[in-house]
Amino acid sequence: MTARTGRAKQVYTADGERIVGGTIPIDDKGRILLISSSSHKDRWVLPKGGHECDETIEETAIRESWEEAGVTGQIIKELPVTKKAHSKFVAKTIGTQALVSELHFFVFKVISIDDKWPESNRKRKWVKAKEAIKLLSSRPELSTLVEYVVSDSTIQLDRE
């Protein structure tokens, strides 16, 4: 897999919303992998990034999981599409004109964890679901996705 940079191939909705793909990585113990935010090193997020025109949204999510978290694996479930509003300042900071992002997330069974990956400056942390929700509280669009996964009894997860 090759890491990508820049936004030249970014995909937007007809309404100008930036399309983002991401995952909730889960290991064989049912723990969730969180990564440190690129802009706020003391905050935790899920792997995600801009959808590009030469890949499917699933491929975007898988690529971002490797680039940002250094994990590879398999998508096991698609989650409901959600939206994330940005202030004009945040939109400018992340390099987009879009004031809203359309989030496409997937539950992702981790198969391998790399020691070296493109964004290895990020910290990784395996946590139980309840702790993930707490650590993502500053990002309600992400904590809500984890809450949705917790409510789905078909997903093997450490719900403590």
Q: Is 63 among the domain residues?
A: yes
- Rounded-to-integer distance, Cα 124 and Cα 116, Å: 12
For residue 52, give its domain range.
18-112+120-151
Q: Is 22 among the domain residues?
A: yes
Question: DSSP string of 13-31?
Answer: -TT-PEEEEEEEEE-TTS-
Which pLDDT value is given to residue 99? 72
Q: Is 58 among the domain residues?
A: yes
Q: Is 6 among the domain residues?
A: no
pTM of the model: 0.88
Is 144's pLDDT higher than 60? yes
15: burial class by Cβ within 10 Å (0-12, 13-18, 19+)? exposed
Q: What is residue 142's DSSP assignment?
A: H
pLDDT tens-digit map of 29-59: 999 999 999 888 899 999 999 999 999 999 9
Q: Is 72 among the domain residues?
A: yes
How many domains does the structure of the chain reveal? 1
CATH of the domain at 79: 3.90.79.10
SS3 at position 76: strand
pLDDT tens-digit map of 84-134: 876 555 555 556 555 788 999 999 999 999 999 999 999 999 999 999 999
CA distance to 4, 85, 92, 97, 151, per residue, from 54 (Å): 12, 25, 24, 21, 34
Q: Is 5 among the domain residues?
A: no
Q: Is 108 among the domain residues?
A: yes
